[in-house]
Chains A and B, each alone.
Chain A
Amino acid sequence: MSEVDLKALGEEYKYHFVDEVKPVFVAERGLTRRVIEAISYHKGEPEWMLKFRLRALEIFQKKPMPTWGPDLSGLDLDNLVYYVKPAETRDAKSWEEIPEEIRRTYERLGIPEAERKVLAGVGAQYDSEMVYHRVKEELERQGVIFVAIEEGMKKYEDLFKEYFAKVVPPEDNKFAALNSAAWSGGSFVYIPPGVKVELPLQAYFRVNTPEFGQFERTLIIVDEGAEVHYIEGCTAPMYSSESLHTGVIEIVVKRGARSRYTTIQNWSTNMYNLVTQRALVYGEAFHEWLDGNLGSKVTMKYPSSYLLEPGARTEILSIAFAKTGQHQDTGAKIILGAPHTSGTIVSKSISKGEGRASYRGLVKVLDGAKYARANVECDALLIDPESRTDTYPYIEIQEDTAHVGHEATVSKMDDEQIFYLQTRGLKEDEAAALIVRGFIEPIAKELPLEYAVELNRLIELEMEGSVG
């Protein structure tokens, strides 16, 4: 086999390893009433949750597959395993069995070894207890709740019930229904009125719960005047043996509160990543979505903000990177439902090889939302001649005094830029990577430093040997 063939093969299979986790319970294939009952039983849930799941299952079964977006025909919903309860301890030795390629990627991303193991889904759980003990103490002192969603459901049942599935009801879409029926894992966060959480809350603060579930569900309530930055995921490749990730993220941002939800995901390229993220934003409150999508086979993700009361504001920043075999169908939705609400969408996509990145966005100004303002900017960068991008901007304005702007650009990798940087000593692919980094800089600079550094390194890796 020639060197080129080997390389192509490595590209395709580099995240394709099988971990040695011994699950204690594996549900049968397909999503059935029996599977749902088993999930609920294994979680020891209250009766109302089981009823909710079963109702969601009916909705899921009735709703047709969405056909307005990317091709989902490769997704065989009847042949998936919908619940795996992991064993308490995992076989640490299996780290050695992870292909050199993926270990090297982690090393080059500079991820601490303990974290790498968690990311790879093998080895002992990342013991963050010691490191974050003090952070946790401080949060508890302030009355902040930050727990696994299952714990939230049981320990804070009244609070949980008040908001759960109120932002994204199962009727919303087929995959929200699927998640509602089969959800497992995720976070429950409550920030009391006026409390400003200084450090970003990161999923790995939570000890002894899986970083990602296949059907993770996160509920965040930011009470009046409170502030929080929540970070989910990371730039390192995430592997799952199942090919579907369907998350639901619900956020309630009450009067005068500020919140930011950052997620960077880099799923392995066998994955259909279909996520519903929505925030309800009340009077004078501000919510930001910062969304990065690097991996997966197909991603459908449109973080949305519903601006419900006067003065509510939102910003939605997103980056998508699509390589050959990938379709990133991402964007944003803003519903401006009250006077003097305002929103901004900045979307940047990069398509490489035969990759396809689509921007799909909705800006809707409801009748009576006087002087509402929204601005959309989407920029696409095409690395190769066969790369593809499309834009589907939907704008609906029912209010005369509203102002909505939309700007879209498509640019190609510029040979003159490459040459210029090369004459300063950068290799061709290094030059290309630097140009891509510059392209996403307006969004990357909003990331916490360690994430920005990881993202930059990752882009360098993605661009290696990509040109010339």
Chain B
Amino acid sequence: MNQLEIRDLWASIDGETILKGVNLVVPKGQVHALMGPNGAGKSTLGKILAGDPEYTVEKGDILLDGESILDLSPDERAKKGLFLAFQYPVEVPGVTIANFLRLALQAKLGREVGVAEFWTKVKKALELLDWDESYLSRYLNEGFSGGEKKRNEILQLLVLEPTYAVLDETDSGLDIDALKVVARGVNAMRGPNFGALVITHYQRLLNYIVPDRVHVMMDGRIVAEGGPELALELEARGYEWLRERVKEEA
């Protein structure tokens, strides 16, 4: 059961149901893409996986390696190895990236992390992302450009080394160079002990992070699944044909 499994998940916010029975499995060792038009519920799914208290889960389950995480707080989920790269990373003034990252790593590992150990890890990640170490003394996301914020999310991904990562539109607002850097970070994580769900609106990112599987979400449900070629087809034909097909099937 080495997988992230979403089982018939229904969820709402302020009385409005957003997720209407999502079924999705990301096995460990694979990278899957979640695509879909705006308002399909992709970002909502990401937040609910991470445990955002704003949403109410009405039905269904989320299983991490066979174990339900539905009753766990966001930090407990993080300690179990789940990571969410935010679409809109939050600014925390006065808290340096270095300070924050070390606290996060200590929380994840459940032990003190010495400066040398921390530094070795961070330096490797910075090099991979082509990022200057001066960023470490900047305050967390404060005054960052959209691209810097996304890069910072990937920095955290590399340092915290989660087992499963959900990347919520990490490509949005990035130019092609930044996109390549982000992809490099994610690809570096790939391996038998890492699974990822890459949420994206466009196929572009998937040229650089080639997914093992592609899931398509509409109106709070998964309506199609396939290999990487499905992403290309969506790129070429748009989402409308799929919407028509879903209607016909219904």
Contact = CB atoms under 8 A, between A and B. Distances in A.
Interface string B74-86: 1101110001101
Contacts of A42: none
A429 to B, nearest CB: 10
A437 B92 CA distance: 10
Interface string B134-176: 0000011000000000000000100010000000000000000
A420 B156 CA distance: 12
A167 interface: no
Contacts of B130: none
A440 B84 CA distance: 28
B52 interface: yes
A94 interface: no
B228 interface: no
The B interface, classified by DSSP as helix, strand, loop or mixed, is mixed
B103 A426 contact: yes
A449 to B, nearest CB: 14
A420 B74 CA distance: 9
Given A434-B100, A434-B103, A438-B139, A422 B75 contact: yes
A223 interface: no
Nearest to A435: B92
Nearest to A420: B90
Given A430-B107, A437-B95, A424 B78 contact: yes
A447 to B, nearest CB: 14
A122 B93 CA distance: 40
B94 interface: yes
B92 A438 contact: yes
Contacts of A420: 86, 89-90, 92
A112 interface: no
B168 to A, nearest CB: 11
Nearest to B139: A438
Contacts of A422: 51, 73-75, 78
A423 B69 CA distance: 13
Contacts of A430: 75, 103, 107
Contact of B93 (A419, A421, A439): A439
B108 interface: yes
Contacts of A425: 75, 78-79, 104, 107-108, 160
A313 B130 CA distance: 44
Contacts of B93: 438-439, 441
A428 B107 contact: no
B51 A434 contact: no
B115 to A, nearest CB: 15
Contact of B104 (A419, A426, A428, A441): A426
B73 A428 contact: yes
B74 A423 contact: yes
Interface in B46-96: 50-54, 73-75, 77-79, 83-84, 86, 89-95
Interface residues of B, number: 30
Given A416-B90, A419-B74, A438-B139, A424 B100 contact: yes
A423 B84 contact: yes
A155 B140 CA distance: 54
Contacts of A437: 94-95
Interface in A389-419: 414-417, 419
Contacts of B75: 422-428, 430-431
What is the predominant secondary structure among interface residues of chain A facing chain B?
helix
Which of B50, B74, B86, B156: most chain A CB closer than 10 A? B74
A448 interface: no
Interface in B12-57: 50-54
Interface in A26-68: none
A442 interface: yes
Given A420-B86, A423-B74, A438 B51 contact: no
Interface in A152-172: none
Contacts of A435: 92, 95
Contacts of B52: 419
Contacts of A427: 73, 75, 107
Contacts of B73: 422, 427-428
A416 B91 CA distance: 9
A416 B74 CA distance: 12
Contact of A434 (B53, B74, B92): B92
A421 B73 CA distance: 12
Nearest to B140: A438
B76 to A, nearest CB: 9
A442 B93 CA distance: 10
Contacts of A419: 50, 52-54, 74, 90
Contacts of B160: 424-425
A423 B50 contact: yes
Nearest to A422: B74
A441 B95 CA distance: 8
A437 B94 CA distance: 7
Interface in B96-129: 100, 103-104, 107-108
A431 B140 CA distance: 13
B90 A417 contact: yes
Interface in A265-321: none
A423 B95 contact: no
Nearest to A441: B94
A448 to B, nearest CB: 18
Nearest to B93: A438
A424 B90 CA distance: 12
Interface of B: 50-54, 73-75, 77-79, 83-84, 86, 89-95, 100, 103-104, 107-108, 139-140, 156, 160
20 contacts: A417-B90, A417-B92, A419-B50, A419-B52, A420-B89, A421-B100, A422-B73, A422-B74, A422-B75, A423-B50, A423-B83, A425-B104, A425-B107, A426-B75, A426-B104, A427-B107, A434-B95, A437-B95, A438-B95, A441-B93
Given A423-B83, A425-B75, A428-B75, 12 more contacts: A417-B92, A419-B53, A419-B54, A422-B78, A423-B75, A423-B86, A424-B104, A426-B103, A430-B107, A435-B92, A437-B94, A439-B93
Q: Which 4 A-B pairs have the closest CB atoms?
A: A438-B94, A441-B94, A425-B107, A422-B74
